[in-house]
Amino acid sequence: MQTKIFLDENEMPKKWYNIQADLLTPLDPPLNPSTGEPIRPEDLSAIFPMELIKQEVTQKKWVPIPEEVLDVYKLWRPTPLYRAYRLEKALKTPAKIYYNWEGVSPPGSHKPNTAVAQAYYNMKEGIERISTETGAGQWGSALAFATSIFGLKCTVYMVRASYEQKPYRRIMMETWGAECFPSPTDRTEAGKMIRKKFPNTTGSLGIAISEAVEDAAKYENTNYSLGSVLNHVLLHQTIQGLECKKQFEIIDEYPDVIYGCVGGGSNFSGVFLPFMGDKLRGEHPDLQVVSCEPTACPTLTKGLYTYDFGDTAMLTPLLKMHTLGHDFIPPPIHAGGLRYHGDAPILCKLTKEGYMDAVAYHQNEVFKAAITFARTEGFLIAPETAHCVKATIDEALRCKETGEEKTILFANSGHGHFDLAAYDAYHEGKLVDYEYPAELIEKSLKALKNKT
């Protein structure tokens, strides 16, 4: 039996897929918060390279992947498509379960698919340094890896609470040569202001974004980089789904349903968008696509579809998305990558228009699924990914009841080697199942309606 479907390096897709070309109606544009008008390219050129600004709005269906980016991808791509025989057997399901495995990349997740592309375009346009923010460190370490490959400097503002409690991703970034500071810092006006006002603050992603953006705007040869949400990030991530499509062609299969976890939405979008194109064009009208999110941060299942800021400090353009309000601070679940108040506009539009669904889970049921996966398929996956493994197992068990031989694909975004403390908490029965924070959401959304 064949467990992995591999592509040769020369079969790797040479172009990214742009769903904008297949959308039936165009995306709502990002708005300039001071004018309320659609943002212009020149508004972004202080912090992004022109090539990425163009990719953000292009309507071309295919964007060529530069040869130098393909060469770096080859350090871990094409990634294998797995058939999860052992999981199927343990569940006694007639369903066929597949997953693409992004844990083989040097930083251990899907993040470098865009980090490498972004570092490359910045290098090509003469940029010498990139600044960014990171929470627990997945994105910061991916950008540190990518910049080290292209000889750029990298400055990472890491949320102070994570910087102090979770040093391993910080050490990874430093090993790749990046500098990493606990945010808020005294290096920026935004940071200084917050420290003056709240001397004991442990920081937040919103503050870290403000610091990274200010850093990039202030220095001539420095740009800013974002690891999810934006259209060009999703574009780069489509390398995942394009590989999966080729791999399914080899075995003459096509998924009936695709599951993925959604924080900002870049991993899942990267996997499902190339298949969604088939659905939009009417080629696979019955394809189901389901986002999996935590009950503690239920953006797609409980959020409002409206314009909101990408950050807490209201510095970014307004994006049309499902949001819990930029003030919303979710409970401290272990899936740190899913604790974001909004989602990628492309994914939100497709959800709003009914092309895809969403479902939310509690921590304990999610970790239970991760343990089942580890004891059958071997790999210790990230808590984020475990959300869609939970959905996969539920669907496979439903198929067992009905006898359906469904083909299931889920997006396996990365390993959980730096999340073992969370596994330990689960083993010891110490994981808290946070209820939907209904009152917090209501308050935050009310504030949002008053502001926008």
Tell me the C-alpha to C-alpha distance, in Å, between residue 318 and each of 283, 299, 374, 411: 34, 16, 40, 28
Tokens at 209, concatenated: 């974004």
- Whether 447 contacts 440, CB under 8 Å: no
Exactly one of 49, 108, 263, 414 binds a second copy (CB under 8 A); that residue is 108
Which DSSP category does 20 fall into?
G
Between CA 434 and CA 321 the distance in angstroms is 24
Between CA 223 and CA 218 the distance in angstroms is 9
Smallest gap, in angstroms, from Cβ of residue 236 to a second copy? Answer: 17
Q: Does 37 bind a second copy (CB under 8 A)?
A: no
Q: Does 46 bind a second copy (CB under 8 A)?
A: no
Q: Does 128 bind a second copy (CB under 8 A)?
A: no
Nearer to a second copy, 176 or 410 (CB): 176
Exactly one of 420, 435, 442, 446 binds a second copy (CB under 8 A); that residue is 420
Exactly one of 176, 275, 307, 309 binds a second copy (CB under 8 A); that residue is 176
**Stretch 250-269: interaction string toward a second copy, x if CB under 8 A:** --------------------
Q: Does 249 bind a second copy (CB under 8 A)?
A: no
- Whether 373 contacts 381, CB under 8 Å: yes
Between CA 78 and CA 10 the distance in angstroms is 9
Exactly one of 379, 389, 410, 411 binds a second copy (CB under 8 A); that residue is 379
Nearer to a second copy, 250 or 438 (CB): 250
Nearer to a second copy, 53 or 117 (CB): 117
Q: How far apart are the first and last CA of the chain?
A: 56
Nearer to a second copy, 122 or 312 (CB): 122
Q: Does 417 bind a second copy (CB under 8 A)?
A: yes
Nearer to a second copy, 128 or 404 (CB): 128
Q: Does 400 bind a second copy (CB under 8 A)?
A: no
Measured over the CA atoms of residue 79, residue 147, residue 123 and residue 38, the dihedral's sign is positive
Nearer to a second copy, 3 or 402 (CB): 3
Q: Which amino acid is at 122?
A: N
Nearer to a second copy, 104 or 329 (CB): 104
Tokens at 37, concatenated: 């008008």
Q: Does 8 bind a second copy (CB under 8 A)?
A: yes
Q: Does 427 bind a second copy (CB under 8 A)?
A: yes
**Residue 2 phi, psi dihedral angles, 5° rounding:** -95, 120
Q: Does 377 bind a second copy (CB under 8 A)?
A: yes
Tell me the C-alpha to C-alpha distance, in Å, between residue 107 and each of 173, 244, 369, 419: 9, 21, 24, 14
Which listed range, 201-209, 288-296, 338-346, 415-423, lies at the site for a second copy (CB under 8 A)? Answer: 415-423
Smallest gap, in angstroms, from Cβ of residue 13 to a second copy? Answer: 16
- Whether 247 contacts 5, CB under 8 Å: yes
Q: Does 89 bind a second copy (CB under 8 A)?
A: no
Q: Does 104 bind a second copy (CB under 8 A)?
A: yes
Q: Does 3 bind a second copy (CB under 8 A)?
A: yes
Closest CA to 290 of 338, 202, 356: 356
Smallest gap, in angstroms, from Cβ of residue 377 to a second copy? Answer: 7
Nearer to a second copy, 103 or 310 (CB): 103
Peptide bond into 184 cis (omega under 30): yes
Q: Does 198 bind a second copy (CB under 8 A)?
A: no
Tokens 């924070």 appear where?
437
How many Cβ atoms are within 10 Å of 293's Cβ, its own excluded?
Answer: 29
Smallest gap, in angstroms, from Cβ of residue 35 to a second copy? Answer: 43
Between CA 316 and CA 194 the distance in angstroms is 18
DSSP for 242-302, written as a single string: HHHHHHHHHTT---SEEEEE-SSSHHHHHHHHHHHHHHHTTSSTT-EEEEEEETTS-HHHH
Q: Does 75 bind a second copy (CB under 8 A)?
A: yes
Exactly one of 353, 424, 435, 442 binds a second copy (CB under 8 A); that residue is 424
Exactly one of 143, 149, 262, 287 binds a second copy (CB under 8 A); that residue is 149
Closest CA to 384 of 403, 400, 361, 405: 361
Nearer to a second copy, 227 or 330 (CB): 227
**Stretch 315-344: interaction string toward a second copy, x if CB under 8 A:** ------------------------------
Q: Does 174 bind a second copy (CB under 8 A)?
A: yes
Closest CA to 388 of 358, 415, 410: 410
Give the binding site for a second copy (CB under 8 A).
Answer: 1-4, 6, 8-10, 71, 74-76, 86, 104-106, 108, 145, 148-149, 167-168, 171-172, 174-177, 371, 374-375, 377-380, 417-418, 420-421, 423-424, 427
